[in-house]
Chain A
């Protein structure tokens, strides 16, 4: 099983600032990496797939990068609606696995 490790566990950021979230895979997943956003009481929402392709309707302030074992989700200028938990997921191998999440909170 591929273990996905996200860091940091919590990120405190002021509105308008840049947020950088990391995701590391225990072995290469190529570019088979997705990012999701989850707000309290809501289902996860797809943000990014293929490590860097934004899903339909996702604002351009969200960007993904990386390949192999190291990945980054960047939110260029945090808006109030972006404070949430973010998960990465690999889909290179079965079983599909997720990171433990990074909570982005208001500083």
Chain B
């Protein structure tokens, strides 16, 4: 069974940094692109960032470009999101999601999703 478990969320002041992690199991992690998707409280879904199987291709939403950095460690079956210069509008539940197809970072759907880790940016 595929499992994605996010961690690292919490309360952080505006302008500070936070690093999220996603531990993957139940599939060959280094075969798949991976993504971060977020959901502000009571709101809809927003794709944040994606990374190809070998970190060769990376993409970001305009709203986080230049502030967030996605990375992965295939030896540890882990995905990361380094979030710098955090803003109040970054407050959200951050989901780790597995790409539906193997290897390249191409526009795709997500299956499955983790349960999310909550990031709250507030002074």
Binding site for B on A (CB under 8 A): 32, 34, 36, 42-46, 49, 55, 87, 89, 91-101
Contacts and interface: CB of A to CB of B under 8 A. Distances in A.
Contacts of A99: 44
B59 A89 contact: no
B107 A46 contact: no
A29 B115 CA distance: 28
Nearest to A87: B45
> Main SS of chain B's interface residues?
strand
B99 to A, nearest CB: 10
Contact of A98 (B46, B112, B113, B114): B46
Interface of B: 44-47, 50, 59, 61-62, 95, 100, 107-116
Contact of B95 (A34, A43, A87, A93): A43
A32 B116 CA distance: 25
Among A34, A44, A91, A96, chain B packs the most CB atoms within 10 A around the CB of A96
B44 A95 contact: no
Nearest to A42: B115
A91 B109 CA distance: 6
Contacts of B59: 94-95
Among B59, B100, B107, chain A packs the most CB atoms within 10 A around the CB of B107
